[in-house]
């Protein structure tokens, strides 16, 4: 009876039968989330404008905040739901999973997670200052599969990073994925 059930269900059953620790919180493996907060950006930080007298381009506080939620809706694949506010209407925001575990700076955010694992997520489209994305990562390819269980490809502990729609090298918002 269980052979055709999704992997997640199988794991839940195994936990219930075998591991007392799992029983205390049977939902623990079923979802993960990241609170997305704005990043401070320094556009044109390479050099100050000529004649400006400034030490460099002023840092700009980002405006985008929101969340990313990861669930396993029964197929065994992971569904990613992104919801942001403070974005610019009509723009498309690139979003990736980055390697690092903290949003503090570009170094701690790291580069794209286990390339290509953190990539190939559709852009977040902004309409009326609000952006939403619903995306399902099918686990057909081991190189890109996600999980919230398996140490080999567990999303938890990595960062979700949104990039500037006009300059993909600029990071405008970030969140750490937690359970």
The piece of 70-78, 90-98, 132-140, 142-150 that touches Cu ion (CB under 5 A) is 90-98
The piece of 1-9, 35-43, 77-85, 155-163 that touches Cu ion (CB under 5 A) is 155-163
Interface residue with Cu ion, options 68, 96, 109, 158 (CB under 5 A): 96
Interaction between residue 117 and Cu ion (CB under 5 A): no
Residues between 160 and 179 that touch Cu ion (CB under 5 A): 161
Q: Which one, 78 or 160, has the nearer CB to Cu ion?
A: 160
Q: Which one, 30 or 119, has the nearer CB to Cu ion?
A: 119
Q: Which residues contact 90 (CB under 8 A, 6 or more apart)?
A: 126, 127
Work out the number of other CB atoms within 10 angstroms of the CB of residue 10: 13
CA distance 159 to 140: 23
Residues that bind Cu ion (CB under 5 A): 96, 161
């Amino acid at each position: 009876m269980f052979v055709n059930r999704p992997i997640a269900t199988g794991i839940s059953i195994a936990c219930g039968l075998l591991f007392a620790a799992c029983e205390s919180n049977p939902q623990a493996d079923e979802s993960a989330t990241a609170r997305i907060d704005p990043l401070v950006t320094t556009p044109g930080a390479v050099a100050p404008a000529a004649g400006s007298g400034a030490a460099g381009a002023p840092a700009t506080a980002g405006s985008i905040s929101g969340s990313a939620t990861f669930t396993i809706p029964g197929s065994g694949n992971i569904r990613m739901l992104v919801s942001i506010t403070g974005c610019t209407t009509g723009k498309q925001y690139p979003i990736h999973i980055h390697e690092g575990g903290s949003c503090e700076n570009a170094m701690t955010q790291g580069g794209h997670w286990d390339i290509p694992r953190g990539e190939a997520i559709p852009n977040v489209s902004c309409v009326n200052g609000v952006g939403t994305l619903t995306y399902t990562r099918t686990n057909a390819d081991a190189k890109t599969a996600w999980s919230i269980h398996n140490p080999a490809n567990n999303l938890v502990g990595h960062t979700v990073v949104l990039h500037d729609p006009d300059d993909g090298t600029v990071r405008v918002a970030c969140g750490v994925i937690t359970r």
